[in-house]
Amino acid sequence: MAPSIWVWIGFLAFVLVMLAIDLGVFHRKAHVVRFREAATWSIVWFALSMLFALGTYLDVGSGPALEFLTGYLIEWSLSVDNLFVFIAIFGYLRIPAEYQHRVLFWGILGALLMRGGFVGIGAVLIHRFEWVLFIFGALLVLTGIRIAIRREEAFLAEENRAVRLTRKLLPVAKGIRGPHFFIVEDGRRLATPLLLALVLIEVSDIMFAVDSVPAIFGVTREPFIVFSATIMALLGLRAMYFLLAGMLDRFRHLHYGLAAVLVFVGVKMLIEPWLTVPIWLSLLFIVAAIGLASITSWRAELRAEATGVADLHDRRGKPA
């Protein structure tokens, strides 16, 4: 599959139109995104992604379509892990719910541009230096192990280098000043906490791109498939954040599933010169890993709730 320049232009035009509709029509005014609205947009973005996969299947066959679906699922699952960071950022900087969509919109717009750059750099490196695939594979395996054994740490925005640099370059106003990233006060141009949140989101996306882009290259070498799968998953990230923000603490085992996916893709890349793993098997493994992690998280949550009820009964002097 080597799409023409018009396919690239058409896809980019579609992305820009959808972003304009999103911000210019449905989210022109700052408001709290409720569950129903987030669910509707999540369904819209997912349906558009599946239509893209269907169009790919009808145009060039099942192979590229499966590659798109697998890459999309990898990016989508890794994006869920990114949502925990968003919650920590908004909570620490005390960003009101009605302004979070604005920050995420511009944050993800910047992420789209950066991911495009990462995909381009990755494609060039792989084309010129095929041994880079072994570095990508080893990186994914090590990242997967790190995710599996990591411990939760308190998020401290003031210790972030990007935040410290922003504060050195720009004076930052105290408190939220509406939906603005900059304000003018006493003749001085000041940044607001919304800008700090935006900076942190962009920095976090760079860190996640180091994992996600090599992971998709482990599935396909076609830059357009890598780019389109990444972009379609990112477009639905804002809606998914508002849909799952109140439930993310229930996915306590999700990082094990993500770790398994990264290790699997990394090993796949390392052994590829001697053994080719079918794309359908990769897709099946990813679905199984994320599904199993979700099921075990759900069961652990039910046990925790049952234990909490039992403890409450004990404290009241009633049998548990």
Domain membership flag for residue 166 = yes
pLDDT-above-90 percentage for the chain: 3
pLDDT at 320: 41
Q: What is the pLDDT of residues 220-277, one digit of tens each?
A: 888 889 888 888 888 888 888 887 776 666 777 788 888 888 888 889 888 888 888 8
Tokens of 199: 């900076």
Name the domain count of the chain. Answer: 1
pLDDT category of residue 47 using cuts at 50, 70 and 90: very high
The rounded mean pLDDT for the chain is 80
Cβ-based neighbour number of residue 87 at 10 Å? 17
Lowest mean pLDDT among 120-124, 134-138, 190-194, 313-317: 313-317
Nearest partner of 296 among 251, 229, 262, 243, judged by Cα? 251
The residue written with tokens 């679906």 in the block is 69
Nearest partner of 219 among 181, 186, 264, 257, judged by Cα? 264
pLDDT at 309: 46
Domain membership flag for residue 193 = yes
The larger pLDDT score, comparing residue 317 to residue 123, is at 123
pLDDT at 284 over 60: yes
Averaged pLDDT, 153-166: 64
The larger pLDDT score, comparing residue 294 to residue 155, is at 294
Q: Angle 272-277-281 (CA atoms, 0-180°, nearest 5)? A: 155
Averaged pLDDT, 92-114: 83
Query: What is the SS3 assignment for 29-82?
Result: CCCCCCHHHHHHHHHHHHHHHHHHHHHHHHHHCHHHHHHHHHHHHHHHHHHHHH
Distance CA 139, CA 55 (A): 33
Nearest partner of 291 among 124, 61, 145, 73, judged by Cα? 73
Nearest partner of 177 among 92, 86, 96, judged by Cα? 96
pLDDT at 313 over 50: no
Lowest mean pLDDT among 3-7, 121-125, 274-278: 3-7
Distance CA 26, CA 179 (A): 16
pLDDT at 158 over 70: no
Structural domain containing residue 302 = 5-315
Cβ-based neighbour number of residue 157 at 10 Å? 18
pLDDT at 148: 82
Contact 72, 52 (CB under 8 A): no
Q: Residue 188: in which H helix or E strand, if any?
A: strand 188-191
Nearest partner of 79 among 48, 103, 115, judged by Cα? 115
SS3 246: coil
pLDDT at 30: 66
Contact 71, 216 (CB under 8 A): yes
Contact 12, 116 (CB under 8 A): no
Domain membership flag for residue 83 = yes
Lowest mean pLDDT among 67-76, 93-102, 219-228, 297-306: 297-306
pLDDT category of residue 130 using cuts at 50, 70 and 90: confident
Domain membership flag for residue 137 = yes
Q: What is the pLDDT of residues 168-218, one digit of tens each?
A: 777 777 778 778 888 888 778 888 888 888 888 888 888 777 778 888 888
Q: What is the pLDDT of residues 21-42, one digit of tens each?
A: 776 666 666 667 777 888 888 8
- From residue 47, alpha-carbon distances to 74, 133, 209, 236, 266 in Å are 17, 32, 24, 10, 29
Domain membership flag for residue 320 = no
Report how many helices (DSSP H) and strands (DSSP E) the chain contains, helices first.
Answer: 11, 2
